[in-house]
Amino acid sequence: MPESLLRCTGVDIEVGDVTVALSLELDIQAGQCWCLLGCNGIGKTTLLHTLAGLRVPAAGRIDLNGTPFKQLKRRHIARQLGVLFQNSEDSFPASVFETVLQGRHPHLHSWQWETDKDREIASGALTRLDLGALKNRNVQTLSGGERQRVAIATLLAQQTRLLFLDEPTNHLDLRHSLDILDMLRAECRDKGKAVLIVLHDINLAARFADHILLLLGDGEARSGSKQEILDTALLERLYGCRLIELETHTGTAWVPE
């Protein structure tokens, strides 16, 4: 039986007078790569933050490794689940290396300095994101794409089993987008982690995810394997436009009619 890392039972999610999800049932298991799709303003970020324990659901229960969020301290959660937010703000100057090293803070005790092992992990994350040459640069001087890769390196340095990423391909060129999504899929396949990624591109979701969560509006959600959920008629309903289904050497793809 695959290990359940995060489970939702009868979860309602609301923001203002908008119902994002109603009676949501979701089981994210080790080794799975999930993608969350939905139109602009449908509540994808709100749902992601709720699943990460940053918002309280209107009803239902969310368990992290079998324990309800409300019973867990924030430091414990941060050792199990990491979040890449949609935007990164740098209010104070810091080097790229110092920024990535912050990913190790959940693993430190109060007033404890980073160890050689922490610095080694941060350096490894920089290398994986091809940022080694920028380690001494002030993050405030980076381009949007470089800063996004620093944020992803920080998340990897946190070394959690669950990774939630809100539009990780923002500001990235095509090569870096593909490289990072492939890296995240490998984290699931090779290290028994689980990933939930918010994307706008159906074809990237079809190429890299094995499970899909759709937000259809008015609280309705659909979730399941990629083969079950990525149906042309359902995607046309989701986006409100006609789609042409194509077969490519990397799998099925969709383009607007």
Full residue range of the structural domain in which residue 158 is found: 4-256
pLDDT digits (tens, 9 = 90+) for 53-89: 999 999 999 999 999 999 999 999 999 999 999 887 7
pLDDT digits (tens, 9 = 90+) for 28-56: 999 999 999 999 999 999 999 999 999 99
What is the domain count for the chain? 1
The mean per-residue pLDDT over the stretch 95-120 comes to 93
Cβ–Cβ under 8 Å, residues 213 and 223: yes
Q: Higher pLDDT residue, 250 or 244? A: 244
Of 254, 223, 217, residue with least CA distance to 237: 217
pLDDT digits (tens, 9 = 90+) for 204-226: 999 999 999 999 999 999 999 99
pLDDT digits (tens, 9 = 90+) for 183-192: 999 999 999 9
Cβ–Cβ under 8 Å, residues 165 and 198: yes
Q: What is the mean pLDDT of the chain?
A: 95
Q: Would the pTM count as exceeding 0.75? A: yes
Sheet architecture: strand order including 162-166 = 81-84, 162-166, 194-198, 33-38, 211-217, 220-225
* Cβ-proximal residues to 98 (8 Å cutoff; 6+ apart), any chain: none
Three-state helix/strand/coil letters over the chain: CCCEEEEEEEEEEEECCEEEEEEEEEEEECCCEEEEEECCCCCHHHHHHHHCCCCCCCEEEEEECCEEHHHCCHHHHHHHEEEECCCCCCCCCCEHHHHHHHHHHHHCCCCCCCCHHHHHHHHHHHHHCCCHHHCCCEHHHCCHHHHHHHHHHHHHHHCCCEEEEECCCCCCCHHHHHHHHHHHHHHHHHHCCEEEEECCCHHHHHHHCCEEEEEEECCEEEEEEHHHHCCHHHHHHHHCCCEEEEEECCEEEEEEC
The mean per-residue pLDDT over the stretch 102-128 comes to 93
**CATH code for the domain of 43:** 3.40.50.300
End-to-end CA distance of the chain: 42
